[in-house]
């Protein structure tokens, strides 16, 4: 189990950083084994990238897959909806077992209404923002959400290189969030390898979405990789 130990008096405490495992990167033939291993290693949640081939050029996980994952372990499920008209599917993802739903500001015509819809179902709402979308797009939404997800790559595919000015974007977001909504988490998704994770945590990220760049590398079990990732991030 991962222990929350700070590296120094100047570094963020590891207990303040959460790990969200990107299930689209898992070995689906060994899904139960991998998710059980992640739960035993101290992973905090499962991250489901839901894509419909419209907003992003890919199609991925849906309701049945989330239900399957829920039978494999007891980790909370967070849906990241990269889909057109997300407001039409909120109820369905709630019924599938998600306790957190994040929608993209680029796809929400009436974002406050959609985020309120998520909250009214007793779920945790989040807003996501693409790399080239200015932070001003979410300025009036912070009071509606529990997290802001900053995409550090263009969404759609795993294995991309990070867009380097996203470090500054996360730092700027922290400067906006902390005075106004200090309980809002800053989540990052895209090429979260160890060096990038260290810089992003230092910039203000508090939730790391981990995929092929970190825990699903195919060389070790995801649980073992998560333990090593945490140790190198905070303890080495």
Q: How far apart are CA 171 and CA 187, in angstroms?
A: 12
Measured torsion, CA atoms of residues 32, 38, 42, 48, in degrees rounded to the nearest 10: -90
Please confirm, yes or no, whether 154 is among the known catalytic residues.
no
Instruction: Name the catalytic one among 52, 146, 154, 189.
Output: 189
Please confirm, yes or no, whether 189 is among the known catalytic residues.
yes
Cβ contact 119:144 at 8 Å: yes
Q: What are the residues whose beta carbons fall under 8 Å from the beta carbon of 160, sequence distance 6 or more? A: 153, 154, 190, 191
Distances (CA, A) of 164 to 17, 58, 128: 21, 23, 18
How many CB atoms lie under 10 A from the CB of residue 142? 15
- Catalytic residue numbers read 49, 189
């Amino acid at each position: 189990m991962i222990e929350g130990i700070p590296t120094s008096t100047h570094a963020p405490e590891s207990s303040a950083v959460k790990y969200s495992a990107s299930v689209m990167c898992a070995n689906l033939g060994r899904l139960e084994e991998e998710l059980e291993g992640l739960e035993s290693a101290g992973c905090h949640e499962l991250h489901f990238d839901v894509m419909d081939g419209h907003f992003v050029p890919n199609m991925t996980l849906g309701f049945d897959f989330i239900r399957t994952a829920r039978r494999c372990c007891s980790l909370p499920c967070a849906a990241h909806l990269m889909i057109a008209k997300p407001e039409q599917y909120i109820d369905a993802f709630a019924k599938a077992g998600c306790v957190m739903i994040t929608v993209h500001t680029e796809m929400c015509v009436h974002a406050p209404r959609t985020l309120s819809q998520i909250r009214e179902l007793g779920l945790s709402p989040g807003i996501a923002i693409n790399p080239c979308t200015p932070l001003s797009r979410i300025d009036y939404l912070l009071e509606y959400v529990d997290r802001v997800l900053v995409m550090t790559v263009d969404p759609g595919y795993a294995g991309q290189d990070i867009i380097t000015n996203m470090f500054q974007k996360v730092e700027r977001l922290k400067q906006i969030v902390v005075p106004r909504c200090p309980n809002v988490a800053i989540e990052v998704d895209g090429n979260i390898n160890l060096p990038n994770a260290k810089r992003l945590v230092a910039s203000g990220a508090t939730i790391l979405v981990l995929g092929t760049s970190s825990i699903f590398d195919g060389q070790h079990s995801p649980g073992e990789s998560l333990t090593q990732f945490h140790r190198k991030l905070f303890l080495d």
